[in-house]
């Protein structure tokens, strides 16, 4: 009788644990974050209209040197007011020029030649600019080109408390208890079909994971691009499955993870 009781109780405990896992992401099965890098015109012209038509909120990682930021600052202010996050992507988007395939990096903005003081100043200036646009003091960061270090040192470490989290570029879909908030992995998009991206979402639902999409061009605007049709198909799928998927800006997801895991 005692063995049977333990088995029943054990089954109940397992069922409760499984139910909790199923809804650990803000009472949903998984979380999806849509991120768009570099403050491009296509963010405003192509991505925002579809997002807003569906009521979905995203994160836009802005580099302050972008002409599209300078020329359209009132539009960026309007999307922030509408619930989208404006994230910090540094002032000049420095990348390490000493890595393979980095011929596009100019000497002036070669991260491998930066000092800690210089990158810290860039990040702080961008925070000041973004605060002037959206009035907010907490946001997330994205490493340009996914480069996290100057030489062997993590450059965000001394000032990471100024951010709720930071997105890297590792191809990871972590469980909620396995997230490194200052190096959050992502799924980088370059030419994938809507079906391919939707398959990633379905896997995240099944595994109860965080899935962060990294977009650059949307229907043009960048050499790393996704078609308008594929982008639209993904967003429509997310909207249709909102009961299972928590779709939110990165800052909201990072603050939630910190609150329930730390």
Q: Residues 117-133: pLDDT tens digits?
A: 999 999 999 999 999 99
**Average pLDDT of every residue of the chain:** 92
**Are 139 and 85 spatial neighbours (Cβ–Cβ below 8 Å)?**
yes
Three-class SS state of 38 = coil
pLDDT band at residue 3 using 50, 70 and 90 as cut-offs: very low
Token representation of residue 151: 């030489």
Question: Can you give the residue ranges of every domain in the chain?
Answer: 25-261
Is the predicted pLDDT of residue 185 greater than 60, yes or no? yes
Question: What mean pLDDT is predicted for residues 44-59?
Answer: 98
What does DSSP assign to residue 87? E
Question: What mean pLDDT is predicted for residues 195-222?
Answer: 97
Asked if CATH classification 3.20.20.210 holds for the domain at 25-261, the reply, yes or no, is no
Going by C-alpha positions, the residue among 215, 210, 214 that lies closest to residue 245 is: 210
Distance separating alpha carbons of residues 219 and 46, to the nearest angstrom: 7
pLDDT of residue 21: 53
First to last CA, the chain: 40
Within 10 Å of residue 114's Cβ, how many Cβ atoms?
A: 19
Q: Residues 138-166: pLDDT tens digits?
A: 999 999 999 999 999 999 999 999 999 99
Query: pTM score, two decimals?
Result: 0.91
pLDDT of residue 136: 97
Is the predicted pLDDT of residue 113 greater than 90, yes or no? yes
% of the chain residues with pLDDT over 70: 91
Question: What mean pLDDT is predicted for residues 79-91?
Answer: 98
């Amino acid at each position: 009788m005692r063995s049977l009781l333990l088995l029943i109780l054990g089954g109940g405990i397992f069922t409760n644990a499984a139910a909790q896992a199923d809804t650990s992401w803000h009472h949903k099965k998984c979380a999806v974050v849509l991120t768009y890098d570099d403050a491009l015109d296509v963010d405003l012209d192509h991505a925002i209209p579809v997002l807003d038509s569906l009521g979905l909120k995203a994160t836009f990682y802005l580099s302050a040197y972008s002409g599209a930021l300078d020329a359209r600052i009132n539009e960026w202010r309007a999307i922030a007011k509408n619930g989208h996050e404006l994230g910090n992507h540094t002032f000049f988007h420095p990348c390490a020029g000493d890595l393979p395939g980095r011929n596009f990096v100019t000497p002036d903005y070669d991260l491998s030649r930066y000092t800690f003081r210089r990158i810290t100043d860039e990040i702080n200036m961008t925070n000041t600019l973004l605060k002037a646009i959206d009035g907010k003091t907490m946001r997330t960061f994205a490493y340009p080109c996914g480069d996290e270090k100057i030489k062997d040192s993590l450059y965000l470490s001394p000032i990471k408390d100024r951010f709720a989290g930071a997105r890297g570029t590792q191809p990871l879909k972590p469980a909620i208890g396995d997230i490194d908030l200052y190096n959050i992995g992502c799924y980088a998009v370059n030419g994938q079909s809507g079906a391919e991206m939707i398959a990633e979402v379905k896997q995240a639902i099944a595994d109860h994971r965080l899935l962060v999409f990294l977009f650059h061009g949307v229907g043009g605007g960048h050499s790393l691009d996704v078609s308008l049709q594929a982008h639209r198909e993904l967003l429509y799928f997310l909207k249709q499955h909102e009961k299972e998927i928590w779709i939110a800006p990165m800052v909201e997801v990072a603050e939630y993870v910190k609150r329930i895991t730390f």
